[in-house]
Amino acid sequence: MKFNLKIPCLFLHIAITQIAYVSLFAESLSNLSDSAESRLETAIDELAEFRNKVAEQKIPIATEVRELSQQVELKRSEQQLLQRRKDNSGLEISSLESQLTAREDEIAYISNLLLDYANRLNASVHPSEMQLYQDDLLAVLNASEKGGVATDDLIQIRLSAVKMGLERIDKNAAGFSFPGEAISADGSVVEGKFAHLGPVSFFASSDGSSAGLVERGASIEPRILTFDPDSNMAIANFVQAGEGEIPLDTSGGRATAISATKETLVEHIGKGGLWMYPILSFAFLSLSIAAFKFLELSKYKLLSPSIVYDVLEHLQKSDNAGAERIVKSYGGTESRILLKGIKNHHLPKELLEEILFEDLLEEKPKLERGLSFISVTAAVAPLLGLLGTVTGMINTFKLITLFGTGDAKSLSSGISEALITTEFGLVVAIPSLLLSAFLSRKANSMIAKMEKTSVIFVNGVSLLEAPTNDNS
């Protein structure tokens, strides 16, 4: 058996190499151990030295940390105090702002009350006093409408109206007089003197031509309401002398205002203007024609059927003279028609009907004469009233253009013309329409009765002639 010697030699070589490496590594480990021990001792020394330094600085650092902690706590307390103060100051500011808003609202409310008082004072001032207070009141009201006026100044201006009102109360309570101008009853402006006593104001002109009570509410200008001559004289003496007996309306002017509205029929018609003349003319003619027509129709005599039968009996007996005598004894238009029928009763029925119908046609216009004018009046009167209304409204608008809408009395003429003409147009039209209907019905009734009488006569004559024709 053969062995290969190369393999053991190889293993041997590897082992020897490993042993050499191990010996070298052991030596190296010994050197590393010595070096590590040396460094360890050095580190231990340094650690000991560092611990000594830490021990030396530990107390000062702890003291400093404690002091800083105390400072932090102090600062935190201060911060909390400041935060509380900030929160409290915010609440106080909100409260102050609320109070400021409330005070501003109160000031605005008081200012508006003062303005309302100024407006009420302006509305309650007597027309005669406007000459005393108008400029000051306008200044107060105009300042309220202007912008840019400070609140304090605006309140002071409005307070002047209160002072003005208090002064006015004192004056009115004691009574006072002052010179001025007023509008007389004829519309002219006269100078004179006012005597104001409470809510009542009197005026007397300087020349003594006019005196009376100053109307309240008639217009913005003082207008004089005159009374009887004795009362006017008493008012003039009172104004000039400051004492005396005067007529006084204890109802506060209501009774005077009511009495001023009373007017006669002629005055009422006069306010209607120009168109009242044709309306009244139509009314007069319509009523006159209606009265005449009523009398005319009342005088018409109509024959009853019994009279016609009596006439036919006489004709049957060939007593034409007796028949005519009966008809003539009654008279009237219908008797005249029946007489013509008696004279022509021998004619054929158709011809006799035509003769009587001709007379009826001739009589019908006489019965209806004048009735058309009454019906025309019933139609025209409202149109004339409407025309007067249009004219009055045109005049009213002209006066509004000239004087505005503040003076109602200056507009009353146009309004009166507009309303009164319509009133009288209807007053004339309604009776005219009723009279026209009544008289037309009466005339038609009479014509119908006359036609009936003619028919009875013609038929009766035909019956009388019928036996004669049969005998032949």
Q: What is the number of other CB atoms lying within 10 angstroms of the CB of residue 328?
A: 12
> In which band, very low, low, confident or very high, does the pLDDT at 5 lie, cut at 50, 70 and 90?
very low
Q: Per-residue b/e over 14-44, b at no fewer than 16 CB within 10 Å?
A: eeeeeeeeeeeeeeeeeeeeeeeeeeeeeee
Mean pLDDT confidence for 250-256: 58
Label residue 472 by pLDDT band (50, 70, 90). Answer: very low
**Does residue 9 carry a pLDDT above 50?**
yes
- How many helices and strands in the chain, by DSSP H and E? 13, 5
Instruction: Using the predicted structure, report yes or no on whether residue 3 has a pLDDT greater than 50.
Output: no
pLDDT, residue 33, reads: 75
Report how far residue 208's alpha carbon sits from residue 252's, in angstroms, rounded to the nearest whole number: 26
* Span 116-134, average pLDDT: 78
Q: What is the pLDDT of residues 30-73, one digit of tens each?
A: 777 777 778 888 888 888 888 888 777 778 888 888 888 888 88
Can you tell me the distance from the alpha carbon of 356 to that of 179, in angstroms, rounded to the nearest whole number?
89
Give pLDDT tens digits for 175-191: 778 888 887 777 678 88
Q: Which residue has the higher pLDDT, 179 or 259?
A: 179
In this predicted structure, the answer to whether residue 432 has a pLDDT above a threshold of 80 is yes
- Specify the residue for token string 């105009």: 142
Q: Please compute the mean of the pLDDT values over residues 255-264 and round it to a whole number.
A: 64
For residue 287, is pLDDT > 70?
Answer: yes
Whole-angstrom distance, CA of residue 130 vs CA of residue 137: 9
Highest-pLDDT range among 216-225, 236-245, 256-265: 236-245
Q: What is the pLDDT averaged over residues 267-275? A: 76
Using DSSP's 3-state secondary structure scheme, residue 117 falls into helix
CA distance 57 to 302: 161
Each residue of 216-237: pLDDT tens digit?
655 667 777 777 777 778 777 7
**Nearest CA among 387, 421, 414 for reference residue 398:** 414
pLDDT at 469: 42
The percentage of the chain sitting over the pLDDT mark of 90, rounded to a whole number, equals 1
pLDDT tens for each residue of 88-112 = 777 778 788 888 888 888 888 888 8
DSSP states of 385-409 as a string? Answer: HHHHHHHHHHHHHHHHHHH-SS-HH
Distance (Å) of CA 404 to CA 121, 214, 220, 399: 22, 22, 12, 7
Name the most confidently modeled range: 7-16, 23-32, 365-374, 430-439: 430-439
Distances (CA, A) of 166 to 171, 201, 257: 9, 19, 28
Between 392 and 6, residue with greater pLDDT:
392
State the residue for tokens 């293993």.
11
Q: Check pLDDT > 70 for residue 261.
A: no
346 by DSSP, 3-state: which?
coil
By CB atoms closer than 10 A (0-12, 13-18, 19+), residue 2 is exposed
State the average pLDDT for the chain: 77
d(CA 156, CA 148) in angstroms, rounded, equals 15
- Asked whether the predicted pLDDT for residue 304 surpasses 50, the reply is yes
Q: How many Å apart are CA 62 and CA 57, to the nearest integer?
A: 9
Alpha helices in 125-207 (DSSP H): 130-145, 151-174
Entry field: residues in the chain:
472
pLDDT band at 6 (very low <50, low <70, confident <90, very high): low
pLDDT value at 468 more than 60: no
Which pLDDT belongs to residue 434? 92
- Check whether 416 has a pLDDT greater than 80: no
Q: Count of CB atoms within 10 A of residue 392's CB?
A: 24
Identify the burial level of 233 via C-beta atoms within 10 angstroms of its C-beta, where 0-12 means exposed, 13-18 middle and 19 or more buried.
middle
What confidence score (pLDDT) does residue 465 get? 64
- What is the amino acid identity at position 219? S
- Among 254-268, 304-318, 325-339, 423-437, name the most confident range: 423-437
If pLDDT is split at 50, 70 and 90, which confidence band does 134 have? confident
